[in-house]
Amino acid sequence: MNSDNPKILILCNDFPPINSIGADRPYSWFIYFKDYDLYPVVITKNWIESGNSRFKTILPKREEEVTPQGTIIRAKKIMTPSLWMTSVFGMRLSLIRRFFTLIEKLLGFNISLFDQHREIYKEAFKYLDNNNIELVISTGEPFILFKYGSKLKKKYKIKWVADYRDGWYLNHVTSIKKNSLIKLIRSVELKAEKKYIKNADLITTIDPILADRLETFTKIKTKYVYNGFWNHITCRKTTKQNQNKLILNHTGTLTNGQRIEVLLDVLVYLKEIDKISKYSIELNLVGLEYFPDQMERVKKYKEKLKGILVTTPRLKKEEANKMNLRADYLINFTDENYTAIYAKTYNYIACGKPILVIPGDNGLLDDIVTEHNLGTILNTAREIEDFITNPDVDFKPDPKNLEFFTRRNQTKIMSEIIKTQLINYDQT
């Protein structure tokens, strides 16, 4: 890679070795920008491997690494009240820790004591003092990185892209909560979003629906770049693996708006009338035990569906992919309050297994599944019942359509946006 290529500064909280959905998007830019003549410089936290633990550990020292792909600067740990509570008491005082986390959301934009990401800005500031940068990308959440992007743009007169992996004020989760503290936090965040986002040269996000909402909300040009899936996790098998047993998998978390109970109620009914048994069907909720609140939702079904309903702890990506490879169908429960595409959907596509959409969203997900023949859509309890008792999906995806959703290809799209609209890239 030519280090004389335009340098792109990427500010992100999550980045490998941390295992999170939020890390994959900036990591894909770091890996593939070099293929499109861009030099990435990532500034993130100094994470260490935390395995399947609920705790995420940050080292108290700064590190810098120059690789064939680009440069990584890992900022040292900053001790804030919530981080101190976690380090001392772990999860035992979770309510108090959550309280301090909320306080940080309220005060972090104005008081450095409550800003656990301020070292990222300090490192960016130092780097820009000594290096030429064409463009800054802040990817959120955390959306305080947008504050840093805005400040760097104003100080150094460079272009800034605000990358939304989810909505901020438009967030689907916080928007449906009604308590007074959440309302206060949202009012603070709305004020901060309006203050900083107006300085962005461009907004990028994860799909066309959120792009339209953000452009209407911010009045700033917005482009979408799908998250996609990693080329190397592809585990494509298009034939049914289990001739005498139907295996269904759902991987990862559930939101309160995802209607898993529709499927579970149908399974209970079919078991009661002796149409299914543990020998004919298996439903795996992979990684759900990592989320206690969501486990409470399925607790009452565990006994009723003994031998059929299986839950697991959080698994490493490789282990989860193996379980998905064993499955016949992969489930995507839609959320009436969420219109974007879940990251798990792209991993499902990579596995090459048919996707069950329960229920249809009458929007982007339905369109993608239908246009690319990625699975089937079940809207009602009767449709679920008919499918369970006679599972037949015509699944013949076009490899070219699947290739479109790889992270390499989506990074190509991101690089084209950067070079054609932001930095006046000279190919000579």
pTM: predicted TM-score of the whole model, two decimal places: 0.81
Whether the Cβ atoms of residue 248 and residue 365 lie closer than 8 Å to each other: no
The DSSP call for residue 391 is -
First to last CA, the chain: 16
The closest alpha carbon to 318, from 282, 353, 286, belongs to 286
The predicted structure's pLDDT at residue 101: 65
The predicted structure's pLDDT at residue 108: 67
| Whole-number Cα distances in Å, 205 to 171, 341, 381 | 13, 11, 34
The predicted structure's pLDDT at residue 94: 55
Could you tell me if 160 and 39 lie in one domain? yes
Could you tell me if 137 and 69 lie in one domain? yes
Could you tell me if 32 and 160 lie in one domain? yes
The DSSP call for residue 7 is E
| Whole-number Cα distances in Å, 76 to 79, 81, 152, 258 | 10, 16, 20, 38
| Whole-number Cα distances in Å, 415 to 10, 296, 312, 405, 423 | 13, 43, 38, 15, 10
Does residue 104 form part of some domain? no
Could you tell me if 284 and 357 lie in one domain? yes
Q: How far apart are CA 39 and CA 56, in angstroms?
A: 28
The predicted structure's pLDDT at residue 52: 46
Strand 246-251 versus strand 329-333 pairing type: parallel
Could you tell me if 153 and 246 lie in one domain? no
The predicted structure's pLDDT at residue 118: 87
Could you tell me if 14 and 151 lie in one domain? yes
Percent composition of the chain: helix, strand, coil (DSSP 3-state, to 5): 45, 15, 40
DSSP string, 259-326: -HHHHHHHHHHHHHTTS--TTTEEEEEETGGG-HHHHHHHHHHHHHTTTTEEE-----HHHHHHHHHH
Q: What is the dihedral of CA 212, 7, 142, 20, to 10 degrees?
A: 100
The predicted structure's pLDDT at residue 100: 63
Does residue 94 form part of some domain? no
Q: Which residues pair with 9 in a beta bridge?
A: 41, 136
Does residue 101 form part of some domain? no
Strand 71-75 versus strand 63-66 pairing type: antiparallel
Structural domain harbouring 379 = 231-403
Q: How far apart are CA 166 and CA 340, in angstroms?
A: 8
Unique residue bearing structure tokens 């009602």: 380
Q: What is the mean pLDDT of the chain?
A: 84
Could you tell me if 270 and 178 lie in one domain? no
Could you tell me if 68 and 154 lie in one domain? yes
Does residue 257 form part of some domain? yes
Residues whose CB falls within 8 Å of the CB of residue 305, separated by 6 or more in sequence, listed in order: 264, 267, 268, 271, 283
Question: Which helix (H) or strand (E) is 140 found in, with range?
Answer: strand 135-140
Could you tell me if 212 and 321 lie in one domain? no
- Domains contained in the chain, number: 2
Does residue 93 form part of some domain? no
Could you tell me if 165 and 280 lie in one domain? no
List the single range of 23-27, 62-66, 118-122, 394-398 with lowest mean pLDDT: 394-398
Question: Which helix (H) or strand (E) is 388 found in, with range?
Answer: helix 381-389
Q: Is 20 helix (H, G, I), strand (E, B) or coil?
A: coil
Q: How far apart are CA 196 and CA 226, in angstroms?
A: 24
Could you tell me if 135 and 188 lie in one domain? yes
Whether the Cβ atoms of residue 287 and residue 264 lie closer than 8 Å to each other: no
Whether the Cβ atoms of residue 267 and residue 283 lie closer than 8 Å to each other: yes
Residue 156, domain CATH? 3.40.50.2000
Could you tell me if 327 and 275 lie in one domain? yes
Does residue 147 form part of some domain? yes
Q: At 115, is the pLDDT very low, low, confident or very high (cuts 50, 70, 90)?
A: confident
Query: Is residue 186 scored above 70 in pLDDT?
Result: yes
The predicted structure's pLDDT at residue 3: 62
Query: Is residue 243 scored above 70 in pLDDT?
Result: no
* Highest mean pLDDT (candidates 42-56, 174-188, 265-279, 355-369): 265-279
List the single range of 23-37, 233-247, 349-363 with lowest mean pLDDT: 233-247
Q: How many CB atoms lie within 10 A of CB 66?
A: 11
Query: Is residue 413 scored above 60 in pLDDT?
Result: yes
Does residue 111 form part of some domain? no
Q: At 373, is the pLDDT very low, low, confident or very high (cuts 50, 70, 90)?
A: confident
Q: Kindly report, residue by residue over 300-345, the tens digit of the pLDDT.
A: 999 999 999 999 998 887 788 888 888 999 999 988 777 777 778 8
The closest alpha carbon to 372, from 341, 325, 405, 326, belongs to 405
Does residue 109 form part of some domain? no
Span 80-97, average pLDDT: 56
